[in-house]
Amino acid sequence: MLKGLPIHFSKLSFIIGLSLWCSVASSAILSPGSSITLSGTTSTIEPDLAGTIIHENLIGFEVTDPSGATLLTGNYLDRVVRSSNTNQLIFSGRIQDLAVTSENSLGIYDWLVTGFSGYLTDVDYRSDDIGDLAPDQATRLNDGNDILLDFPTELEPPESSLFSSIATDAALFDLSGSAFFGIEDFVNDTGYLLELNGIAAPSPVPLPAAFWLFGSAMIGLIGFQKQCRNE
């Protein structure tokens, strides 16, 4: 369970710097130093988004106040899909299972993911999936590494977000990325920054061999167990 720390800003966009200059467009292609308006997409609209889920991880988190009291809990669903058409990777995420465990009123305004430097990014959200609130704008920082997703209003418990969709020209991934959530406590006028590590991100090299060997060993073990049952 990962914890958010209090900060003096209510929005993550302030953290990355008010001096960031971005051009605004409605195209889904998001270049470094630019911002786009999101309208939602589906695999019917963009057939390249259809594919096979090759990685999925549910990461729990909580936000605590300075005394250690829990204010907000939730889960982040981290997903990677390999396109059936292009064989390239689509990185997606969803904030879900939000619950307030105090009398405070907390909401998530901003959502930033890292690890995209050097890769093409076609950004939107999936309107064909379940969820209550979708980001309406995406910004890619000047170095191209970070992508910031802005909600039109705060995401509040028990709401969940729709899946983001970041289609790339990457063929491989690792777990070197991070995700950051900008959270505001409306009652106490306090902001929190939540950081999650181990998020899937594009990579020029595959995951360590030990990871795949472990997976192969598990598959082999399952096959051995099935064979034993049949004998």
Helix (H, G, I), strand (E, B) or coil at 49: helix
Looking at the chain, list the stretches that DSSP marks H as alpha helix, in order from N- to C-terminal side.
12-15, 209-230
Question: CB count, 10 Å around CB of 226?
Answer: 9
Q: Which residue in 192, 193, 195, 110 sits closest to 153, CA to CA?
A: 110
The first and second tokens of residue 73, run together, are: 């809990």
If you search the block for the tokens 């939000």, which residue do you land on? 98
Q: Using CA atoms, how far apart are residues 200 and 177, in angstroms rounded to an integer?
A: 6
Residue 102 has a pLDDT of 66
The first and second tokens of residue 174, run together, are: 């690792």
Q: Using CA atoms, how far apart are residues 61 and 209, in angstroms rounded to an integer?
A: 29
Residue 18 has a pLDDT of 37
Q: Which residue in 81, 172, 170 sits closest to 118, CA to CA?
A: 170
pTM: 0.81
Strand (E) positions, 21-163?
A: 23-25, 34-37, 51-64, 70-83, 89-100, 106-114, 121-125, 137-140, 146-155
Residue 187 has a pLDDT of 78
Q: Using CA atoms, how far apart are residues 64 and 141, in angstroms rounded to an integer?
A: 29
Residue 182 has a pLDDT of 95
Contact 138, 147 (CB under 8 A): yes
Residue 137 has a pLDDT of 95
pLDDT tens for the chain, residues 1 to 231? 554 444 433 445 544 543 344 444 444 689 999 999 999 999 999 999 999 999 999 999 999 888 888 899 999 999 999 999 999 999 999 999 999 876 678 999 999 999 999 999 999 999 999 999 999 999 999 999 999 999 999 999 999 999 999 999 999 999 999 999 999 988 778 889 999 999 999 998 765 544 444 444 444 443 434 444 445
- N- to C-terminal Cα distance for the chain? 43
